[in-house]
Chains A and B, each alone.
Chain A
Amino acid sequence: DTTVKQNPRYKLARVGKPVNLICSQTMNHDTMYWYQKKPNQAPKLLLFYYDKILNREADTFEKFQSSRPNNSFCSLYIGSAGLEYSAMYLCASSSWGGSYEQYFGPGTRLTVL
């Protein structure tokens, strides 16, 4: 099974409320990524986990948190959602030292009201 699953597929949130998005894969990939994609813009890397090590992009460092309780799961957490967080959030996974392949999930569309 080479699929990456994301839950939920659609999420409505109120301004100021927390948001938690979930991603899972069963390919035993050691690296998992979260991207933010807004309409007519390229996906933007937010952070990635290599094994248990979290790497967050400098310009989004304080806006997003993540946890990876085991190899298969990775979450993206927004402590206090703002209108600017409305976007599609894509999760991907890959294997260190393997091919160039990053497997992408279907995305979670977050709308903040």
Chain B
Amino acid sequence: NAGVTQTPKFRVLKTGQSMTLLCAQDMNHEYMYWYRQDPGMGLRLIHYSVGEGTTAKGEVPDGYNVSRLKKQNFLLGLESAAPSQTSVYFCASSYGTEGRYEQYFGPGTRLTVT
């Protein structure tokens, strides 16, 4: 039981390049989330999904796209990376049902855009 895994762990991009971050969970959770964490700031929600095939915008969605084609996977895409997207990205998942709202987080992906 691996929980929530993220691929890759580290990545360096040049401005304008694209990439996809992969999140996978093996807990059969309905809800999945992508956050970014910047120095001096808390985690900010980028996008989330309440089930397979669904996505919704969070607090800071600009410059990112997501897809949830399979229940266990949630992909975060950067179409044209900018230095402002240098951050640590965390994926999380939860049951999303009464009394089971806590989120389980992956280990994070450190992204640097030069």
Same complex for A and B? Answer no
**B residues neighboring A (CB under 8 Å):** none
**A residues neighboring B (CB under 8 Å):** none
